[in-house]
Structure 1
């Protein structure tokens, strides 16, 4: 991509360290020297050391980012990268300076780890920081979980990698692609402001609803069928007279068994095992308790390198609920028979 006159994305080679550019396409293997420290080995014999740290969910202050940039200038030649799971990696660190770098980033409050069989960086959408559709505060839950599980991020004591994804509403499918997913749920249909709805374009509202839940009412009003509404929020973005969310009813569900990689049994969508938990900030005790409950059962019973989904496939759902002591609900485990096929047909996945 050409950067003309400072507009657009800069060329890739300007953002890659000389060592990585010199070995582009030649990286052969890697070793995890200790939690968060990776040694990558090229076919040419060159070695690149990276140090991975956890990042705050969905946002980071300019001051903190500038401090991390200063450390990158001092320890990795000014180069770093943000991983797909939003972790921060210092690239091409002098192996003799790794201990000093780790000491400084941990003094800033950023733990080092998230590699191999550990808790990887927790992913969360911005929720109310950015969006008008959330049913829960996903960055707040991610922060509470990160604090509670920080030791699992810093060591390699889990059976396999553990990925936790959090979405504030059902529009973000990423939550169903983690070993444990948390999805915000609205439990009541959108609220229609009857005195203001006439200002909105009724044909647009009817057309924009993906499930045809919106029908005309009278000359200018509308009615929403609660049996068809999926709380996608499309109508709220087309009309300010429709509101979504109820502080007294909103909460979140917990899913397990999602996976985005092709390893093992391949990619799959998670299944709901806890249909509803209430919003309870600031420490989100119910979410933390549920995740630890599931994680501990998996840790005690899983084979080495067995992801959450493979463990469930081996023991079956009946034993999963018994081992995790989760009460079974009629709303648990969706019956979409083609869920796996759907997940594997996504453009990001291959067979």
Structure 2
């Protein structure tokens, strides 16, 4: 695989910091440009994140002295320095939509961690192990944008990564209905316990917009391409409730599933353990060798013990039981800033490079 020059837009935020650490020693990608808001323009990366570096490892030497661009004002110069860019910014949705289209039209593909384009009908929302084939919509998007190389591909919401992969492996049994409750870490809000002391010894039963995303986004992920758009799946029906809990990293989901024909527990566990996607076929650098892990222990998965499984890119499942209302219930877990955010975006970029969309 050739080496690609990559950028990070929104490099100073929490997800941006994850990108910085993940890309520092990547075998295919070299960071050649970083950008943030205008107030950080001209600062070195180390200066811009001084006092607010949230990662447990030091700022990589290869990036700490890089000078930041203004993500909006310097778009043309930034785009000329990279083969494609990652984007994770904190702006209004209409501003993000315009910004990402600007870069795409500058022939700079955008791998976005933002929600602004998730329901643009020709923008693929890819989980590489689940719906890698949705990349086939990119030529239609390029036609709309009038580009040769440029396009936008987006990550799904971090919360659905904890249960959508587990459900995908069970689709062969005909899922009719799903109820899910997610217990979401504070890093999903870009916070730590130091910056959000109110979360200590507390649970907040509301995360703005999260339940709507958790019910709607899986349907696009499970959808199909029809002409120049991705058409959402019609089923299963999903009911979601999302809570913020006092955990640093790792989103946990309690899922309840109704099937058209109830499978045996052993069939479900085998479906999970044998499941692999395109990312595993291609042996992408960030792809976990075993995507779905099932635990037999009654007290697993646990965020502290299992969120970093396979470099934080695996999904952990456990507590499969018969249910009194649905057919079965189970618990699943994923790392929200690795599998659910920056790590998943890097894996998506690897997929798109391997499939030739970045050439």
Fold conserved (TM > 0.5)? Answer: no
TM-score by length of 1: 0.24
Query: Computing the radius of gyration over CA atoms, which structure comes out larger, 1 or 2?
Result: 1
TM-score by length of 2: 0.24
Larger RCO: Structure 1 or Structure 2 (Cα < 8 Å, ≥ 6 residues apart)? Answer: 2
